[in-house]
Amino acid sequence: MAVPSPDKTYKKYWDEELETMPRPKLREMQLALLKESLEWAYARSPYYKKSFDEAGVKPDDLKHIEDLKKFPYINKHTLRERQQAVPLLGDLTCVPEEEVVYISVSSGSTGVPTASPFTAQDFEDFQDYEARLFWSSGMRPHDRYCHALNFTLFVGGPDVIGAQKLGALCIWAGTIPSERLLAILKQWKATCTWTTPSYAWFLGETAKSQGIDPRKDLYVRKLMVAGEPGGSIPETREKIEELWGADLYDYYGLSDIFGACAGMCEAKNGLHWAEDHIFVEVINPETGEEVPEGERGEMVLTTLKKKARPLIRFRTSDIVSYTTERCSCGRTHLRLHGIHGRLDDMLIIKGVNVFPSDIEAIVRKNPDFTGEYRLIVGEEQHLATLTVEVEHAPGFSGDIEGLGHALREECYSILGIRPRVKVLPPETIPRAVHKAKRVIDTRKGETV
């Protein structure tokens, strides 16, 4: 059932001049913004002043973009440590507290919540950034957007204002039970919504189990997803799109910058950044050397306009690859091929670096599996072992052992490792409501 869309032609880009700017001009603009950002940070943040001085660099040393490499890194640990050392907001903050109008709060794995502060202008920029990303995914004023992300402290909550800014009708649903969310999607004929990939899958299956066919009985035609690699794994994306009869757009957010920092345009070929706001570097996490386009490395981000707490060379721990080729949509800003995983998620099996997302792509290519999987990591004779648990599809009546063997060999040909494979009956592996727990590391005392 198609949602009638008004007979109106909208502009193609949210900000055509910025989004289609030739790259040499974009680089010039970034250089000017980088200079301003370094000067701002050096003059106002005791932390940046000290760390630049210790590294023997001054904002004036930035003559070319490449000179940014001379400036020291920071990471999540820096933010947490400086916040604890200098309460409330830490000494990376560049404005007096009365100029801060909003903080998002994220609790990392250590459980110490860290704040990300915004000035009024930062918050305006944040909303304009989100509107630009949503517009690039094809959201328009006639859309009805159901925001199904957490509103409590989480920086993804205010993303909804970006959709309002572009004129969509917004429903602030938040995280509510699936039955209720389905009822809201249905009653208000929402055309767009945002969840994690695992949850989009779970929600679609829950709908079907209640006799609601998401393709026919719901109106959702655009699904935004973030938080897990699945949205950029073609096999996962196609399965969710098929289930919903909708287009799926992968997004990437970082709580220390914006709710969404990069998102897919309608071409769905990578996630666009807004490089007039954020400068992206991709480095070899061990050597710090820049990696060439198309190769995997750790993403390092520098904010270009944030005033409350600029981030200079923030190591994200996210492993990505990118391209600067002009997209078929006409936008010139850098695109990520996807987030392959977190540095912390990388498994080293027999000397080979393996991300859970690599296994996911292999499992989901084969229609004889349901697509659900878990990775059990153990240790034998001081070597890491990997067991891949998968489920065979409900109608599968062939040779289970052969199915497991085929998956093992597929892993060998693509990744260079032969994991153990356990083929289980359908519906055996626990389903995720939000973020799926895909890896059980028994070496860390985690239990199956």
The residues binding Zn ion (CB under 5 A) are 265, 267, 327, 329, 331
Task: Decide whether 17 or 66 has the Cβ nearer to Zn ion.
Answer: 17
Task: Decide whether 57 or 264 has the Cβ nearer to Zn ion.
Answer: 264
Please, what is the minimum distance in Å from the beta carbon of residue 331 to Zn ion?
5
Task: Decide whether 331 or 438 has the Cβ nearer to Zn ion.
Answer: 331
Task: Decide whether 119 or 232 has the Cβ nearer to Zn ion.
Answer: 232
Please, what is the minimum distance in Å from the beta carbon of residue 272 to Zn ion?
6
Q: Which helix (H) or strand (E) holds 322?
A: strand 314-323
Please, what is the minimum distance in Å from the beta carbon of residue 248 to Zn ion?
15
Task: Decide whether 47 or 135 has the Cβ nearer to Zn ion.
Answer: 135
Question: How far is the CA of 137 from the CAs of 16, 132, 222, 329, in angstroms?
Answer: 15, 9, 8, 11
- Could you give the CA distance from residue 263 to residue 271 in angstroms, rounded to a whole number? 4
Task: Decide whether 92 or 334 has the Cβ nearer to Zn ion.
Answer: 334
Please, what is the minimum distance in Å from the beta carbon of residue 416 to Zn ion?
33
Task: Decide whether 114 or 137 has the Cβ nearer to Zn ion.
Answer: 137
Number of Cβ within a 10 Å radius of residue 283 = 18
Please, what is the minimum distance in Å from the beta carbon of residue 117 to Zn ion?
31
Length of the chain: 448
- Could you give the CA distance from residue 307 to residue 99 in angstroms, rounded to a whole number? 10
Reduced to 3 states (helix: H, G, I; strand: E, B; else coil), residue 196 is: coil
> Is 199 within 8 Å of 224 (Cβ atoms)?
no
Tell me phi and psi for residue 435, to 5 degrees: -90, 130
Task: Decide whether 147 or 335 has the Cβ nearer to Zn ion.
Answer: 335
Concatenating the DSSP letter of every residue in 372-428 gives EEEEEEEEETTEEEEEEEEEE-TT--S-HHHHHHHHHHHHHHHHS---EEEEE-TT-
- Could you give the CA distance from residue 395 to residue 397 in angstroms, rounded to a whole number? 6
Please, what is the minimum distance in Å from the beta carbon of residue 328 to Zn ion?
7
Please, what is the minimum distance in Å from the beta carbon of residue 267 to Zn ion?
5
Please, what is the minimum distance in Å from the beta carbon of residue 135 to Zn ion?
12
Cis preceding-peptide flag for 88 (omega within 30 of 0):
yes
Please, what is the minimum distance in Å from the beta carbon of residue 358 to Zn ion?
25
Task: Decide whether 48 or 273 has the Cβ nearer to Zn ion.
Answer: 273
- Could you give the CA distance from residue 202 to residue 36 in angstroms, rounded to a whole number? 46
271: CB partners within 8 A, 6+ apart:
232, 250, 251, 252, 262, 263, 264, 335, 336, 338
Question: How far is the CA of 52 from the CAs of 32, 179, 242, 286, in angstroms?
Answer: 19, 53, 51, 22
Task: Decide whether 19 or 360 has the Cβ nearer to Zn ion.
Answer: 19
Please, what is the minimum distance in Å from the beta carbon of residue 103 to Zn ion?
32
Task: Decide whether 57 or 262 has the Cβ nearer to Zn ion.
Answer: 262
- Could you give the CA distance from residue 279 to residue 342 in angstroms, rounded to a whole number? 20
Contacts 24+ apart (CB under 8 A), 54-63: 59/35, 62/31, 62/34, 62/35, 62/38
Strands 100-107 and 222-225: unpaired
At position 244, the amino acid (one-letter code) is W
Please, what is the minimum distance in Å from the beta carbon of residue 265 to Zn ion?
3
Please, what is the minimum distance in Å from the beta carbon of residue 20 to Zn ion?
10
Task: Decide whether 23 or 44 has the Cβ nearer to Zn ion.
Answer: 23
Instruction: State the burial class of residue 29 (Cβ atoms within 10 Å of its Cβ: 0-12, 13-18, 19+).
Output: middle
Q: Which helix (H) or strand (E) holds 105?
A: strand 100-107
